Every structure is written in C-alpha cells, then in structure tokens.
Amino acid sequence: MQGSQTNMLDPRLNRRSLLKWTAAAAGGLAIGGRGFGLVQADPARVAAQGGTRTEGGRWVAVACWHNCGGRCLNKALVVDGVVVRQKTDDTHPDTPDFPQQRGCARGRSQRQQVLGADRLKYPMKRKHWEPGGGNKELRGKDEWVRISWEEALDIVASEIKRVKEQYGNKSIIMPRRGSKLINALGGGLESWGVTSDGAWPAVTAHMVGSQPVNDRLDWRNAKLLVLWGANPAWSSAGNPAYNLLQVKKAGAKIICVDPMYSATAQALADEWIPVRPGTDAALLIGMAYHMITNNLQDQAFLDKYTVGFDRDHMPEGADPKENFKDYVLGTYDGVPKTPEWASEICGIDPRTIRFFAQELATTKPAIMSSSSAPARTSLGQQFCQAFLTVGWMTGNVGISGGGVWQSYHTNASYSSQSLVRSGGTGAGNIPNPLFPYGTYGFSSPEKSDWYGMAHEEMYSAIINGEYTRGVNGKEKCDIRLLYCIRDSNGGNFLNQEAGINEGIEAMRKLDFIVTSDIVLSTVSKYADVVLPECTWWEKAGTTLSGNPEAIFVFGKVIEPLYEARDGMWIERELAKRLGLDPDEVHPLSREQQFFNQIAGARVMKPDGSGWEPLVTITEQDITALGVEGKPQQGRVSLQEFRERGVYQVERKPGDAFSGFIAHKAFRDDPEKNPLPTRSGKLEIHCQALSEKIAAYGFTTCPPIAMYRPPVDGYEATFKDFEHKVKGDYPLQLFTPHYPRRSHSVFDNIRQLREAFPQECWMNPVDAEPRGIVTGDTIKITSKCGTVIRPVEVTERVVPGTVALGEGAWVERDDETGIDKAGATNSLTRSLLTGQGEEPWNTVNCQVEKWTGEPLAPDVTWPQRIVF
C-alpha cells in the first residue's frame, strides 16, 4: 500500500537504520568486481579509489548524472557508509578564465534524492494484476504488493516469452532507446525522434553541414551577442551564464529574444525582444526586409559563400524565383515581408524590428546564438532556416568574435572543440534487428528495413494500431508489452511525452508494463511490475562529460539500499530465464567498464597538437581494482583523478585553444575547404533539406526560410484572424525549463519544491479581464487536458501567453481529468512535424480563475512513498 511521510531522512537520526538497510542489502547485491567501492580495507585499493580523509569521514566525488544541461562537481562526506553532507568544487581558486565547476541547487540536493524516504525498496506488482493483461484499467490506481526478486523476474520473463510467442517481437516496445536484452531476443519496436534539439538536426546537416562554435574565450571579442530563446541561468546550471557574463564585461552588448524576461535576460541583457512563441521566423524575415531595403546585408560574403540568397546565386537546377531575397520583397507573391507584416504576427513594434535589424547588421563582429526552444515548435524548421539566413546576411562567419550557431546546454558558452574526453566502456552494443539505425535525431526515413514510430506517435500507435514509417507509409501494429528497464531505456517518458492523458489511455491498453526505477515516477505508477534500481551512487562508477573543458569521475558511494539492484544485473537475470547467455548480453562488469573509461580518457596536449592519455595507471592500481588492463603514463595519477573528482583544462587568453574559430578554414578558402553540403557552401536555398523533411512523411519544408502559421500557433488562437476575433483557446502556452528540476528529475525533492514552487506566469493584460491576481489558483485548459496552478501575474511574459515550467510530476484526478501538479504535457498534444521533433512550445489554451479549493503548496503534499 501507499503512505506518506513528511520528513526527509535525517542522517544524524537515521544512520543506524540506514546501516541496517545497507548491511542487509550488501549480502546479496555484489555484482562482480572488487575495487571501486568505499568499504574496502586494502590501503592500495583505498588509494586507487580516491577521496580525501577528514575527521570522522571521507570526502568523495559523487555523481550528479542528470540531463540538466550543465555539468559540475559534487562531493559527499561519507561517515560509516552514510552520506551526511555535500559540497561542490573547491579544487582550485575560482577565476573567469579557469572557473570552478560549482554545483547548482539540484546537484546539491542529490543526497535527498538518493537517500529520500520515497526510494523504492522492494520489487512490487499491482495487487490485482493478472497474467495476460487482466485488470489493466486499474493501472495508476491499484495498490502495490511486495514480492521477491525471484517472483518478479519470473513474472517479467514469463510475460516477455508469452508476448513474443503469441504476437512476435513487433509487439514489444522500448520507448526512446533500445535494450540489449530485448535486442538479443530478436528486437522490438522503438520510438524515435528529436527531443531537446527540436528542428535543428536536419537543418544543420543540410544547410551548413555542422555547427562548430568559437572557443569561449574568443566570445569575449564580440561587440554584440544575440541570445535567441536561451536561458542558461535556468536550463544550463553551472558555468554557461557565468561565461556569458564575461562576454558582457568585455564590452559586448547583449540582446535577448524570448517570450519571457528570463533570469538570463535579467542578469545580462541590454535589450529584451519579447517575441510571441512560434513566430520567431516572422520576426527574422521582417528584419531581413529592413536589411535588404537599406542595403545592409554583407553582399560580398553572400555572393562568395552562400547559395540561394538572390536569383543570381541559386544552386544548380533550382528555380530562380525561389530565392530568399525575392520572397522577402514579395516579388512574386505580392506580399512584402515588411516589419509591419512581421509585427502583426510576432507582436514586436515595427520600430523595434527595424532597430534590431539595424543593430545586428551594423555591429561587427557579432554572435547570434540560439537555443533549441524556438525550434521545438510545429514547423520548427522555418525558425532554424530564418535564423541561419539572417545571421549569414551579416557576414559573421569564420571570424574572431563572430558566429551564427545553435548552442545550448554546457555548449551555451563553450567551444565545440573538446579538450578532454572519456574513454569508452568497451561493453559494445547489440543492434536491434527491427531498428538498426539508432534513435535520437533519426535521419534515414527513406530506408525500409526499420520498424518504429516517432515519439509523438507512440500513444496513438498503441491505441489505434497504426503508425507512420516514413516513405513506406502507414504500418499496422499490435503493441502488447512495454519494456522500460531504466539501465537500458531510462526516463520518466510518460510524464515527459506530449499528451499525458492519451498516454494513460495507452498504458491501460497494453498487456504488460515493466519498469525499473528509484522512485515511483509517473511511468512506474502505471506499470504492472516495478523493480527497485540502484542509483549511480550505488554502482561501481562512471565518468561524465558535457563541458568540453572538463571530465568528471566518481565511484560507488554507498552500498545499495534495501533490495535495489543494478539494471545490468536485472537484465542478466532475465537473460537466464529467457534462455540467453548473460555474458553475451552484458559481457563486462561495471568495474571493468568504469576502468576502461578512465584508461581511455584523453586530453589535448598543451600546444593543441594532439591527444595524450589523461590518467597514469600502474600495475598496482590494476591489481588493487581487480580489473584487466595495461599500465600507462598520463598527465595525472589515478589517485589524484579520483580524489579530485574532476580534471579541468586550465585556460587563459592566448593559449593554444583560444584561437579556435568556427568555419575559419572555409572562410579563408572555400574552394579548398568546402562545407559538407550539397553545394559545398552555406545553403540559404536548400533543396536537400526540403527533400529530407518530406521523406519523413509528416510535414513539408520549403527550400528557403518562409513563414507559415504553425499548427496550434498564434494564428490558431483566433477563430477569425483577419478581424482578430479570438477563439476558444485564445492564449499560447510555452514551457521553459525550470530550476527545480532536470526535466522531471528532482521534482520529488521537498527542499527544491520549497525553493522553487511550481507556479505559472501570465501578463496583467490577460489576467485583469479574468479577475485574476497573483496567488490565485487558475485553471488552464487546452484541447488535450486541464491543469490547475497558483499564478504570478507579471509583465515578464508576453501578453497573450502563459508560461509553465516543464517536468512537474502529474497528479491527475481520474474522475475530473484535472492535473493539479501542472505537468505541461497534460496540456500538450501529439503533433507530427518535420523530422519527428517534439513541438512542446506550440500549445493553445484558455485560462480562468479556479472556483474550487485553492491549491496548497506542493511542498506540503504527501510523497509517493510505497512501504
């Protein structure tokens, strides 16, 4: 059964009970290997594992392993096998050139996640579960029953066998990523598509070939920095915003374009351009009109390095009338794309559009840097095309202090040139026979030998038995089993996929659902069998990267709690029951994989001439760790690397890396250094992109940047756009990343709930006619669902919009269908677009004042604790 507990575990009060849990668990949870834990007594082994002794305990590097967009250093004070305190980077003095890798509020709350009262303790099944899918309508409502590992594994293996034998491998689905176990069993369907990157991958691949980024120290040479939809202060915690501050201190003017006056804009911006969601392409095209009619474009650059800007520089075989300049001027369609035309769509005053265009065109050098948020929209390719085109019109390519690129996560302020990198695990992969091409940014829809659906189509495929298989057309399917072992699949996908309400319907249609998890996340709440998984603090260890100047390392911190198991162990045990050799499914221990990552780590030589080993490894280290390997000479000892938890390349202006300029070789000699595009140049007119998007079978994409009203975009808020008569859903919802979560991870942490309430924001222009003031509970309704949340009325968001942080754990009332947690995907719907990107920022909604009981702060809500 489920219960609640209001206090988090206090290590001073609970250490004795924690030690009992870890002692009970340790007897049955060792999974091969010997040397990367913290409990060994062998002095050589202790030295190899790293960590710094202090009175009463030991400071050790620990993971913050989530996809937050940043990457930083966390350390834990371990006393008697229990983590009692955390701290962040203090390995060297902090300077702008060589900054510390400091943890954010999320990283510093990791102890509450790992040791929280809501950790899953035992294998569980639904009380009324029956083999073959009985009582499936009770998913999400049923009680939980504790079962043994033997019973749990037997149930899972039996259901996999039954479904495979009765319906075939295409009846098994593995959301988002495959599983080595299922692949070894003959494979299954996968969901594919583009999540964080939005519409950028195909645009980048075909218009420019790749998008390298100047070295971060070179950013300081810019006189103007345009941050488009970028809010690293929230979405890329760590150093990106700090690095951008150095650009401002060096003298650059910063303009932020965003529907919200974000934390980054507050800290850095000289100007805020408050654009409506999904209308960015119209704004950019209106800017292009001002530049063209005032002859502000860098025509010499466009003539030499691009194709498709005007009719005299079209790619071979293209219709001369399809050039960008004539589209902007309205030469053939009779509609000049003036700032006034753009203003009606994007909401920016025409004078501001002209000022912005003038500033961008006349300030050299300048950097235009976009996040992915504006591209996470219906027809998102049009923003990416317009962004690159207008950026190239300024000529800011291949020069110091200049650039035009998509840049987000840790790369929001770093070079694309990596200076230190991890080795591989050596574990290999087992290809999925039904989906051999990989998933993220899936780029081969014209191939016929794959089976799987876009993320956005997964729920409807389960419900309706049909999905789109690229140029192959519609494919019938009969999906029966969902396999989501975190170590293989990962992710709280039901919470984080568009259309939660449709997703719950799909979950209640399947025969069987198995998940592994550390807490009862949304997808696990609707499962039949849930298996308690170890966190990375309870595994042998791994390396993490993301910041191109640093690599992070950590090992086991504590023994697994309760009956938690490693996901790899789970799959090995299932393999035995399914008649497979577990050593062929997972051939290497965690310890060996961890060692391989360390031994294979490489760092750029100080003169930039090539790579050298990062870590010195001795025969004594290898023996102490109980792994296979060879001694090597590197830049730091294994003990120092493990003790510090990070290796960071020390930077200073004028070093061998600060001269890295994106596309400089192409700029210097485009004939000798052509780009990997069809023409070898920057393609403003890009037929290859148009063909690629058409091959996915969802939407079309013109070969040049053109504005077309998105599905559920601004125009769709009207029932009569020409006369500006609003419709049933008159507002636009957009969904920024929120500082209390890494997507949905950490949303259960009470300290973060207290620090960052899940409020939403709307403009006084929209709130006042509805009688809404700050602190009211409001009801937000879309075509797909309803949420209620407290509101802050503020001019920080564009009129006509509502902002709600993505990732809250849905708390849905089955009777009313209302989600009181404010999960944004309770409001989004599945929209098939482009290359299967997920258009989370194209949602229309209505808002009214809630007349029921006001919401209590969610920090006071019962936790999802299963005893």
Q: pTM of the prediction?
A: 0.93
Q: Is the pLDDT of residue 227 over 80?
A: yes
What pLDDT, on a 0 to 100 scale, did the predictor assign at position 50?
A: 54
- The 10s digit of each residue's pLDDT in 766-822 is 999 999 999 999 999 999 999 999 999 999 999 999 999 999 999 999 999 999 999
pLDDT band at 151 (very low <50, low <70, confident <90, very high): very high
Residue count (the chain): 867
What pLDDT, on a 0 to 100 scale, did the predictor assign at position 149?
A: 98
For residue 362, what is the domain's CATH number? 3.40.228.10
Q: Is the pLDDT of residue 178 over 90?
A: no
Element (H, E) at 145: strand 144-146
DSSP-based three-state secondary structure for 574: helix
What pLDDT, on a 0 to 100 scale, did the predictor assign at position 702?
A: 98
And the tokens for 211? Answer: 């998008």
Sign of the Cα pseudo-torsion (243, 248, 249, 251, in order) = positive
What pLDDT, on a 0 to 100 scale, did the predictor assign at position 447?
A: 79
- The 10s digit of each residue's pLDDT in 369-420 is 999 999 999 999 999 999 999 999 999 999 999 999 998 777 778 888 999 9
- The 10s digit of each residue's pLDDT in 840-856 is 999 999 999 999 999 99
**Alpha carbon distance 197, 34 (integer Å):** 40
The residue that leads in pLDDT, 675 or 17, is 675
The residue that leads in pLDDT, 440 or 522, is 522
- The 10s digit of each residue's pLDDT in 438-493 is 665 555 677 778 898 999 999 999 999 999 988 888 999 999 999 999 764 457 88
Which 3-state string (H, E, C) describes 831-863?
Answer: CCCCCCECCCCCEEEEEEECCCCCCCCHHHCCC
Residue 181 located in a structural domain: no
Among 3-12, 296-305, 549-558, 683-692, which stretch is predicted with the lowest mean pLDDT?
3-12
Residue 534 located in a structural domain: no
Sign of the Cα pseudo-torsion (179, 181, 184, 189, in order) = negative
And the tokens for 589? Answer: 């221990």
Residue 442 located in a structural domain: no
DSSP-based three-state secondary structure for 604: strand
Q: Is the pLDDT of residue 711 over 50?
A: yes
Residue 349 located in a structural domain: yes
Nearest-CA neighbor of 705 among 374, 282, 260?
A: 282
% of the chain with per-residue pLDDT over 90: 81
**Alpha carbon distance 467, 459 (integer Å):** 10
Who's near 154: CB < 8 A, 6+ residues apart? 577
Q: Is the pLDDT of residue 535 over 70?
A: yes
DSSP 138: G
Q: Which of 382, 402, 417 is the last residue of a domain?
A: 417
Q: Is the pLDDT of residue 351 over 50?
A: yes
Q: Domain span at residue 332?
A: 209-417
Residue 740 located in a structural domain: yes
Q: CA torsion 792→794→797→800, rounded to 10°?
A: 90
What pLDDT, on a 0 to 100 scale, did the predictor assign at position 443?
A: 56
Q: What does residue 395 show for φ and ψ, rounded to 5 degrees?
A: 75, 10
Q: Is the pLDDT of residue 10 over 70?
A: no
Q: Is 341:286 a contact under the CB 8 Å cutoff?
A: yes
Which amino acid belongs to residue 258?
D
Q: How much is the average pLDDT of 562-568?
A: 95
The residue that leads in pLDDT, 237 or 465, is 465
What pLDDT, on a 0 to 100 scale, did the predictor assign at position 489?
A: 44
Q: Is the pLDDT of residue 126 over 50?
A: yes
DSSP 288: H
Tell whether omega for the bond before 365 is within 30 degrees of 0, i.e. cis: yes
Q: What does residue 690 show for φ and ψ, rounded to 5 degrees?
A: -60, -40
Residue 19 located in a structural domain: no
- The 10s digit of each residue's pLDDT in 749-782 is 999 999 999 889 999 999 999 999 999 999 999 9
Q: Is 174:483 a contact under the CB 8 Å cutoff?
A: yes
DSSP-based three-state secondary structure for 749: coil
Q: Which of 417, 447, 469 is the last residue of a domain?
A: 417
Residue 492 located in a structural domain: no
Maximum CA extent, the chain: 81
- The 10s digit of each residue's pLDDT in 195-210 is 889 999 999 999 999 9
**Alpha carbon distance 274, 279 (integer Å):** 11
Q: Is 27:562 a contact under the CB 8 Å cutoff?
A: no
- The 10s digit of each residue's pLDDT in 25-80 is 333 333 333 344 443 333 344 444 456 666 678 999 998 888 777 788 999 999 98
For residue 845, what is the domain's CATH number? 2.40.40.20
CA distances from 254 to 20, 45, 245, 286 (A): 55, 51, 10, 20
What pLDDT, on a 0 to 100 scale, did the predictor assign at position 614?
A: 98
* pLDDT mean across residues, the chain: 91
Q: Is 459:683 a contact under the CB 8 Å cutoff?
A: no
Which 3-state string (H, E, C) describes 269-284?
Answer: CCEEECCCCCCHHHHH
Q: Is 775:236 a contact under the CB 8 Å cutoff?
A: no
Q: Which of 399, 417, 435 is the last residue of a domain?
A: 417
Helix, strand, coil percentages, rounded to 5, for the chain: 30, 20, 50
% of the chain with per-residue pLDDT over 70: 92
Number of domains in the chain: 2
Q: How many CB atoms lie within 10 A of CB 285?
A: 27
Among 102-111, 287-296, 513-522, which stretch is predicted with the lowest mean pLDDT?
102-111
**DSSP sequence for 697-719:** TS----SS----PPTTSSGGGEE
Which amino acid belongs to residue 136?
K
What pLDDT, on a 0 to 100 scale, did the predictor assign at position 39?
A: 36
Residue 668 located in a structural domain: no
What pLDDT, on a 0 to 100 scale, did the predictor assign at position 12?
A: 32
Identify each DSSP E strand in 440-563 by its residue range.
452-454, 466-468, 474-476, 481-484, 512-517, 529-532, 541-544, 550-555
